[in-house]
Amino acid sequence: MRKAQIKQLLPSLFQRTARPGSPLWAILEVMESMQAPSESALDRLDITFDPRRAPDAFVPYLASWVDLEMLLDVSRGPASPSFASFPTGLGRLRELAANAVALSQWRGTGKGLCRFLETVTGKQGFTINEQVTGPDGNTKPFHLQINAPNEVLPQRALIEKIIELEKPAYVTYELLFGSGNRSTGATA
């Protein structure tokens, strides 16, 4: 709020005496300078709450608002989202937080899990087979085969954590990388 705007809020007697150089004018200048930081923050409030434009330190905090804190690594600082990091980088966390509402609509489905994994890793090519046959030739009930691209193998621990969080509790899975190399699969 500018001095002139503050002056308009004063009783008419004070308005008449508030002139440059007067003590009241000095008080108005102090009031204006004290409100400047708050007004600056309010002017960019839309940026603060947009995961794609928010300050870097605020992004993990925004992610915690949409129930993503379990994916954050807080080992580098106090147990606070603002000190957390994300295994695949801040840009991926921004995208994940920005898409959290759309992803939550598909939670517990193959489509939702694929979209979640693609958003986290930034790589396309995840597929889910819900009709997995066992060694006896019969379909394994409540079992998923999740195929991931080879280039995401370094994020295997994060991918497994996401699968555990996003799949229905009664479902088991195996995770395969690349062309279906079973030696890298995990069964839960």
Distance CA 155, CA 166 (A): 16
The pLDDT tens digits of the residues spanning 41-84 come to 899 899 989 999 999 989 999 999 999 988 887 665 555 555 56
Domain span at residue 174 reads 108-188
Total-model pTM: 0.73
Q: Quick one: 96 and 123 in the same domain?
A: no
Please give the tally of structural domains in the chain.
3
Residues 147 and 177: their CA atoms lie apart, in Å, by 6
Same domain, 121 and 67: no
3-state class (DSSP) for residue 176: strand
Mean of pLDDT over the chain: 87
pLDDT at position 178: 85
Tens of pLDDT, residue by residue over 103-116, are: 999 998 999 999 99
Residue 127 CB coordination number (10 Å): 12
Q: Is the pLDDT of residue 182 over 80?
A: no
pLDDT > 50? residue 27: yes
* pLDDT average, residue stretch 5-12: 88
Q: What are the structure tokens assigned to 151, written together?
A: 């280039």
Per-position DSSP letters for 41-53, written without gaps between them: HHHTHHHHT-TTT
Please check whether residues 119 and 184 belong to one and the same domain.
yes
Residue 39 clears pLDDT 60, i.e. is over it = yes
In angstroms, rounded to a whole number, what is the distance separating the alpha carbons of residues 124 and 151?
Answer: 10
Residue 146, classed as helix, strand or coil, is: strand
